[in-house]
């Protein structure tokens, strides 16, 4: 059964970076509807730093930590902070170099915990948490089916979570100043998070 290791991680981040670049204009366009309009640039900058480190990693815990610090050194506001926290948290949750599905789920859970230490946002606040938390929460229930199926379930949950932001009123960022006028608009951070998890699922099983 497939396990999570540095090689799989590198494939996942490489696939995520390609997907995020392809949709960067879409993310910035969504962000422009309610915020600064720079989320596409920000998420690509953060993940470029993350992927650069991932491609050189040989020790799972160390490379995840280095990926987190690399993201945080990018000057892309809260995006770099939250993406960096996610990978730093995953590093905290790693024990060993080759993880089974349950251990992989625990690692992602540790990543979510670290993100939530950086933001007070919760489900329903129209942020990336609306996609990230459902994705991570979906993992343990699907762990017995193996990592590929578990990541696919996480991607599906993230997409559903991102779509749900359309009906929400924002509690953070510039969008919160718009009140109910943001209803009908998707949150850019939630959509890019869903994109990332979809790419993680595809990247894990990528042959090259």
- Structural domain spans, the chain: 6-205
For all residues of the chain together, what is the average pLDDT?
A: 93
Give the whole-number percent of the chain exceeding pLDDT 90: 81
Residue 153 has pLDDT above 90, yes or no: yes
Q: What is the pTM of this model?
A: 0.94
Backbone angles phi, psi at 124, to 5 degrees: 100, -5
**Better pLDDT: 120 or 90:** 90
Is 171:126 a contact under the CB 8 Å cutoff? yes
Q: Which of 74-83, 86-95, 172-181 has the highest mean pLDDT?
A: 86-95
Does the CA dihedral 117-132-5-14 come out positive or negative?
negative
pLDDT over 70 at 207, yes or no: no
CB contact at 8 A, 166 and 188:
no
Q: Residue 72: pLDDT above 60? A: yes
pLDDT at position 94 = 94
Q: What is the CATH number of domain 6-205?
A: 1.25.40.340
In tens, the pLDDT along 105-142 reads 999 999 999 999 999 899 999 999 999 999 999 999 99
At 174 the pLDDT is 75
Query: What's the rounded Cα separation, in Å, for the pair 116 and 167?
Result: 22
pLDDT of amino acid 75: 75
Contacts of 29 (CB under 8 A, 6+ apart): 37, 40
């Amino acid at each position: 059964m497939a396990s999570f290791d540095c090689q799989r991680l590198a494939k996942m981040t490489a696939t995520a970076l390609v997907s995020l670049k392809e949709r960067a204009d879409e993310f910035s366009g969504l962000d422009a509807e309610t915020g600064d309009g720079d989320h596409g640039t920000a998420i690509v900058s953060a993940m470029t730093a993350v992927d650069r480190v991932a491609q050189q990693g040989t020790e799972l815990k160390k490379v995840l930590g280095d990926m987190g610090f690399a993201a945080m050194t990018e000057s892309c506001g809260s995006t770099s902070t939250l993406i960096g926290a996610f990978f730093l948290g995953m590093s905290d949750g790693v024990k060993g170099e080759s993880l089974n599905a349950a251990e992989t789920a625990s690692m992602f859970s540790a990543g979510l915990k670290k993100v939530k230490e950086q933001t007070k946002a919760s489900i329903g606040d129209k942020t990336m948490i609306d996609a990230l938390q459902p994705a991570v929460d979906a993992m343990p229930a699907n762990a017995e089916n193996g990592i590929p199926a578990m990541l696919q379930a996480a991607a599906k949950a993230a997409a559903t979570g991102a779509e749900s932001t359309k009906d929400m009123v924002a509690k953070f960022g510039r969008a919160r100043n718009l009140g109910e006028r943001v209803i009908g608009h998707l949150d850019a951070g939630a959509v890019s998070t869903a994109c990332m998890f979809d790419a993680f699922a595809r990247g894990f099983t990528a042959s090259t």
